[in-house]
Amino acid sequence: MGQANEILFVASLLVLISILAGSASSRFGVPFLLVFLGLGLLAGVDGPGGIEFDDYQLTYAVGSAALAIILFDGGLRTKMSIVRLVAGPSLVLSTFGVLATAGIVGAVGHFILGFGLLQSFLIGAIVGSTDAAAVFFLLNVKGMALQKRVTGTLEVESGINDPMAIFLTLVCVELLRLGQPPDSWLLLLNFLVQMLGGVAIGVAGGLLLVLLFNRVQVAGGLYPIVAMAATLLIFSGAHFAHASGYVAVYVAGLMLGNRRHRGAQVILRFYDGLSWLGQIVMFLLLGLLMTPSQLEPDILPGLLIAAVLIVLARPVAVTLCLLPFRYSWAEIGFISWVGLRGAVPIFLATIPVLAGLQHASIYVSVAFFCVLLSLTLQGWTIGLAARLFGLELPPQKDSASRAEIDLGNTADRDIASYQVQPGAPALGYVYAELPMPRRCRIIAVIREGTVMDRAKLESLQPSDYLLVLAPPEQLYSLDRLFTNQEKQRKGRSTGEEVFGEFAVQGDTPVGVLGEMYGFPVEEKFRADPAGAYIRKRLRRGAVVGDRVRVGPVELVVREIKHDRIAMVGLELEPEEHPLLRRMRRAFGFKA
C-alpha cells in the first residue's frame, strides 16, 4: 500500500509540475513537449529526482494507449473536406515518403555507425515517420493560421504514416532476430492488410459509435467515457485482426468528428484534456527511461544522424512525393521543415530492446537525439518558417465571445452563447431591427444576471449575454454582428501583406480586373471569373493564401465559401522575390 501511494504521489506531482512548467515556458517560446521531456530527464536516475526507471514493456504499453488517444483526437478535429483535398499526397508521403526517409538515413547511418545495412536501415525505419502527437500539438499550440493544404497534409500524413514505420521496424527486427529474409509477397500482403484493414475497422467503428451515441441516451458526463473506451476497443480490436490500430483509431475519430451526434461538444472538450495528458505521460516516461550519463558515446553519431534526417532525408523524400501533386516550392519547403519527431521514434526504439537485439541501446540513443534536435530546432522555429515561406495567414477573426451548446443529432441548429463586445455592429441597431442571418433567432438576452423581456427591449448593451439558435454555417455571420469589428481591422496590415492591397469579388471577370489595374489577360480567359481563373491556373484544389502571377501582379485567394473562391486579393507590386520579401518581413526589416 505504501509503495502504491508513493508511486501515485510522484506521478501526480510530475504531471502537475509539467503542466505548470509548460505554461510558464510558453512565454519564452519553448516547445511544450521539450519541457515535458526535460522534466522526465530531471526526475530520472541522473537528475535531482533520482527515480530509477527502465521498464521498456510499460513504456511500450502506455505509449501505445496514449498514441491511440492522441490519434483519435486528431481525427475528431480533422474536417473531411481537408482529407479530400490532401488524401493523395498524404498517402504517398506516409508510405513512399517514410520508405525514402528510412533509406537515406540508413545509408548515411551505415557509414557513421559502421553497422550492417539492415541494422542501419532499422535506424532509418525507427525515425522515418513524423509524430502525430508532435505535429497536432505544435501546429495548434503555436496559434498560427496556415494554409489549409499545408496543415492538412502535415496532419493527415502524421496520422497515417506510423503503420509504415512500425511495419518496417518489425520486419527489420524479425530479419535480424531470425536471420532469414521473409517472402516479399507475404510482406506486401501483410502491409496491405495492416493499412486497408485499419481503414475498414476505423470506418466501421466510427459509424457504429455515431449510431450508439444517437440511439442510446446516457448521462452527459458518460459520453466522453464511452468514446474513450471505444477508442481503446477499436485500437486493440484492430491489432487482434492483424490490422493497424493506429490507422483504425484515426479513421474512427474522423468518422465521428464529421457527423452530428449527441455529446459532441463534451467529447471534444474531454479529449482535448485527455490528449494533453497522454502527451505529458508519454514524454515524462521517455525522459525517465533515458540515462544521460550513458548517452555520451552516442552524442556525436546521434546528432549527425538527426541532422541528416532534418536537412537531407526529409526534404528529399517530401520533394519526390509532392512535386507530382503540383505543390509549390514554398509548401514543399515548409512541409519538409516541419517533419517533427516526437515520442514515436523512442517508442519504436523500444521494440529492438524488447526483442533482445544486439546494440539495442544505440537505437534508443539515436532516436532520443533525433527527437531532441527536432523539437529544439524545428519545434522552436515553426512560426519563423511559416513566415519565411509565406504560408502564414492573418489570424482568424476573434470568436472568443462565442460558446456553442450542442443540441444533438436530431436538430439542424445549435445554440450559441455570445457576450456582446463594446463597438460591435449590433449595438447600432434597434433590437427589433437587428439584421439577424437567415434561420437565426435570439432566444434569450441576459443583462447583469437578469433575463430581459425581449418584447420590451429597445437595444442591446455591451456585455449583454445572448443565447442564439442558429445553423452552424451562420455562426461566422453572427461573430461579425456581436464582436468589435474595429478591433479586427487593426490586423489589416498583416492581411495586406498576405492577401494584397485590394480585394474584389471572386465572380469579377478577370478581364475587367486587367483593365482596372493594368495587367494583361489572354483573350480566351477574359470572361472567366477571377476565382475560376485562379483554379484553372493552379490545376489543383484552391485554399486560402494561394497565389497566381498574372503579368506584373499576383491574384491571391482571400476567402472560400462552399468550395467557391468568393474573394480575391490583388498584390500590385510583387516584383521583389517572394522568399526575400518573406525573410524581410519575418525578421522585421523594413523595405
Please work out, in degrees rounded to the nearest 5, the angle formed at the alpha carbon of residue 117 by the alpha carbons of 114 and 119. 80
Both 365 and 419 in one domain: the answer is no
Q: Judge if 303 and 355 occupy the same domain.
A: yes
Q: Mean pLDDT throughout 311-320? A: 95
Of 227, 43, 31, 250, which is closest to residue 162 (Cα–Cα)? 250
pLDDT higher than 60, residue 481: yes
pLDDT at 207: 95
Is 207 inside any structural domain? yes
Claim to verify: residue 437 and residue 369 sit in the same structural domain: no
DSSP H helices in 290-404: 299-308, 314-322, 329-337, 343-355, 360-373, 379-380, 382-388
Task: Write down the mean pLDDT value for the chain.
Answer: 82
Helix ranges restricted to H, 46-97: 56-76, 80-92
Q: Are residues 440 and 533 both part of a single domain?
A: no
User: Which of 29-38, 489-498, 518-527 reaches the highest mean pLDDT?
Assistant: 518-527
> Is position 55 within any domain?
no
CA dist., res. 350 & res. 367, Å (int): 10
What is the longest distance spanned by two Cα atoms in the chain?
85
Same domain, 435 and 498: no
pLDDT at 581: 57
The kind and range of the H/E element at 150 are helix 148-160
Confidence category of residue 142, pLDDT binned at 50, 70, 90? low
Query: What total of structural domains would you count in the chain?
Result: 3
Is the predicted pLDDT of residue 102 greater than 50, yes or no?
Answer: yes
User: Which one, of 191, 206, 312, 298, lies nearest residue 249 by Cα?
Assistant: 206
Residue 591's pLDDT is 42
- Tell me how far CA of residue 420 lies from CA of 423, 433, 480, 584, in angstroms: 9, 16, 11, 39
Q: What is the reported pLDDT for 33?
A: 73
3-state secondary structure of 123: helix
Strand duo 564-571 + 502-505: pairing: antiparallel
- pLDDT grade, residue 544 (50/70/90)? confident
Residues 229 and 103 in one domain: yes
Cα–Cα distance, 32 to 34 (Å, whole number): 5
CA nearest 534: which of 505, 504, 568?
A: 568
Question: In the prediction, which pLDDT does 488 show?
Answer: 47
Q: What percentage of the chain reaches a pLDDT higher than 70? A: 85
Three-state secondary structure readout of 280-297:
HHHHHHHHHHCCHHHCHH
Measured from the Cβ of residue 199, the count of other Cβ atoms closer than 10 Å reads 17
User: Would residue 387 count as lying in a domain?
Assistant: yes
Angle at 151 between CA 148 and CA 157, to 5 degrees: 125
Kindly report, residue by residue over 344-394, the tens digit of the pLDDT: 888 888 889 888 888 888 898 999 999 889 888 888 888 888 888 877 766
Residue 454 lies in a domain: yes
Q: How confident is the model at residue 426 (pLDDT cuts 50, 70, 90)?
A: confident
**Residue 237: closest CA among 225, 248, 227:** 248
pLDDT attached to residue 140: 65
Q: Report whether pLDDT(29) > 70.
A: no
Indicate the range of 7-21, 403-417, 525-539 predicted with least confidence: 403-417
pLDDT for res 473: 65
Rounded to whole angstroms, how far apart are CA atoms 236 and 239?
5
CATH number at residue 514: 3.30.465.10
Reported as a pLDDT band with limits 50, 70 and 90, residue 36 is confident
Which amino acid, residue 573? E
Domain shared by 274 and 377, yes or no: yes
Cα–Cα distances (Å) from 141 to 19, 134, 267, 481, in that order, read 14, 10, 20, 28
Domain co-membership, 426 together with 573: no
Q: In the predicted model, is pLDDT for residue 497 greater than 80?
A: no
pLDDT of 518 over the 50 cut: yes
Model confidence at 400, in pLDDT bands (50, 70, 90)?
A: very low
Amino acid at the residue 171: V
Q: Report, in angstroms and rounded to the nearest whole number, the Rg of the chain calculated over CA atoms.
A: 26
Residues 41 and 86 in one domain: yes
How confident is the model over 309-330, as a mean pLDDT? 93
User: Which residue range(s) make up the domain with 409?
Assistant: 402-487
For residue 466 the three cell numbers come to 445572448
Residue 56 lies in a domain: no
Mean pLDDT of 147-151: 84
Question: pLDDT grade, residue 492 (50/70/90)?
Answer: very low
Q: 32, 288, 252: which is closest to 136 by C-alpha?
A: 32
Q: Which three cell numbers stand for residue 9?
A: 504521489
Q: Is the pLDDT of residue 493 over 50?
A: no
Q: What is the amino acid identity at position 435? A: P
DSSP assignments along 162-214, one per residue: HHHHHHHHHHHHHHHHH-SPPPHHHHHHHHHHHHHHHHHHHHHHHHHHHHHHH
Report how far apart, in Å, the C-alpha atoms of 449 and of each of 283, 395, 461, 462 are: 44, 32, 13, 14
Please check whether residues 356 and 418 belong to one and the same domain. no
Which residue among 458, 487, 516 closes a domain? 487
Who wins on pLDDT, 319 or 216? 319
pLDDT value, residue 218: 81
- In the predicted model, what is the mean pLDDT of residues 405-429? 76
Element (H, E) at 568: strand 564-571
Q: What is the pLDDT of residue 399?
A: 46
242-273, pLDDT tens digit by residue? 888 888 999 999 999 988 888 888 898 888 88
Is residue 285 classed as helix, strand or coil in its secondary structure?
helix
The CATH number covering residue 476 comes to 3.30.70.1450
Same domain, 234 and 313: yes
The reply to whether 293 falls in a domain is no
Q: What is the pLDDT of residue 292?
A: 83
Domain boundary among 375, 393, 411: 393
Q: Is residue 591 included in any domain, yes or no?
A: no
Q: Which of 471, 487, 503 delimits the end of a domain?
A: 487
In terms of domains, do 119 and 153 share one? yes
Residue 441 lies in a domain: yes
